[in-house]
């Protein structure tokens, strides 16, 4: 920085995304222990999921989604597994590394704390894939030919 510089520019918070749904990709996943005032032990185990987004200007933004690991059907963890189509059968293991690279749609909500806006992921879902075009079959083609067979129309009587 130049010592004679009279103006400073405060950078914007580049980690803010527009609210609503955003397409991203799961960049990394780890099981992690967090401090918690809501658990008797003072700790909670969560799946810490880092999701990569690309802003319109090409900048990468990384946000985290960290649901508490609980197998309760009403918990965010199980809801997320359902949304990602990754619920293991009873007694089976979940390979958390299988989530890395998955294309997702994230629901983003922005909150303001101490005059700073932060983006939070409140839900992630497996991104819908495009529906492939239906392959025509002979029955469809024959039906279309019958519908549009102009040889059978009597134009003179019209």
Tell me, yes or no, whether 11 lies in a domain. Answer: no
Residue 114's domain spans which residues? Answer: 20-126
Tell me, yes or no, whether 57 lies in a domain. Answer: yes
State the Cα–Cα distance between residues 126 and 149, nearest whole angstrom: 45
Tell me, yes or no, whether 46 lies in a domain. Answer: yes
Tell me, yes or no, whether 8 lies in a domain. Answer: no
Tell me, yes or no, whether 58 lies in a domain. Answer: yes
Please give the tally of structural domains in the chain. Answer: 1
Phi, psi at residue 105, to the nearest 5°?
Answer: -110, 125
Tell me, yes or no, whether 81 lies in a domain. Answer: yes
Q: Tell me what pLDDT residue 22 has.
A: 95
* Average pLDDT in the chain: 84
Tell me, yes or no, whether 151 lies in a domain. Answer: no
Tell me, yes or no, whether 150 lies in a domain. Answer: no
Structure token digits, residue 41: 């032990």
What's 67's domain CATH number?
Answer: 2.40.50
pTM summary value: 0.71
Q: Work out whether the CA dihedral 17, 106, 29, 111 comes out positive or negative.
A: positive
Q: Tell me what pLDDT residue 151 has.
A: 59
pLDDT digits (tens, 9 = 90+) for 59-117: 899 999 999 999 999 999 999 999 999 999 999 999 999 999 999 999 999 999 888 88
């Amino acid at each position: 920085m130049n010592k004679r510089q009279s103006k400073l520019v405060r950078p914007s918070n580049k980690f803010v995304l527009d609210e609503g749904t955003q397409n991203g990709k799961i960049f990394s996943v780890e099981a992690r222990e967090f401090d918690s005032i809501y658990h008797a032990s003072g700790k909670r185990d969560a799946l810490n999921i880092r999701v990569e987004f690309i802003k319109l200007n090409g900048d990468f933004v990384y946000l985290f989604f960290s649901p508490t690991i609980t197998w309760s059907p009403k918990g965010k963890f199980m809801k997320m597994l359902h949304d990602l189509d990754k619920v293991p059968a009873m007694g089976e293991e979940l390979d958390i590394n299988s989530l890395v690279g998955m294309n997702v749609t994230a629901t983003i909500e922005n909150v303001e704390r101490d005059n700073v806006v932060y983006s939070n992921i409140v839900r992630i879902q497996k991104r819908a894939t495009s529906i492939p075009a239906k392959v025509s079959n002979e029955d469809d083609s024959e039906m279309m030919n019958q519908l549009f067979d102009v040889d059978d129309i009597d134009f003179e009587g019209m």
